[in-house]
A = this chain, B = another copy of it.
Amino acid sequence: MKLLLASTSRLYGQGYLEYLIEELRDFFKGAEQIVFVPYARPGGIGWDAYTEIARKGFEPLNIEVLGIHTLKNVSLELPKADGIFIGGGNTFVLLKTLKETGHFEPIATAVRSGTPYMGSSAGSNVAGLTIGTTNDMPIVYPPTFEAFGFVPFNINPHYLDPVPDSTHMGETREQRILEFHHFNTQPVVGLREGSWLRIEGNKVELRGSITARIFRKDQSPIELPPGELLL
A90 CB → nearest B CB, Å: 6
A163, closest chain B residue (CB): B163
Are A180 and B137 closer than 8 Å at their CB atoms?
yes
**Is A133 located at the chain interface by the 8 A CB criterion?**
yes
Q: Which of B131, B158, B170, B193 is A160 in contact with, Cβ under 8 Å?
A: B170
| In the bound complex, CA of A193 to CA of B42 (Å) | 27
Listed stretches A8-16, A30-38, A56-64, A77-85; interface member: A8-16
A8, closest chain B residue (CB): B169
State which size class the interface on A falls in.
Answer: 35 or more
A160, closest chain B residue (CB): B168
Q: Please tell me how many copies of the chain the complex holds.
A: 2
Chain B residues whose C-beta falls within 8 Å of the C-beta of A90 in the assembled complex? 179
| In the bound complex, CA of A167 to CA of B14 (Å) | 11
Q: Which of B44, B158, B167, B177 is A169 in contact with, Cβ under 8 Å?
A: B158
Query: Can you list 5 A-B contacts with CB-CB less than 8 angstroms, sorted by A residue number?
Result: A44-B182, A136-B171, A137-B176, A137-B179, A138-B138
- Measuring CB to CB, which residues of chain A are less than 8 angstroms from any residue of chain B? 8, 10-13, 42-44, 90, 92-93, 131-141, 144-145, 158, 160, 167-171, 175-180, 182-184, 193
Known contacts A42-B171, A43-B175, A139-B183, then 18 further A-B pairs from the complex at CB < 8 Å, ordered by chain A residue: A8-B169, A10-B169, A11-B169, A12-B169, A43-B182, A44-B178, A92-B138, A93-B183, A131-B138, A132-B138, A132-B139, A134-B137, A136-B171, A136-B176, A137-B177, A158-B170, A160-B170, A169-B193
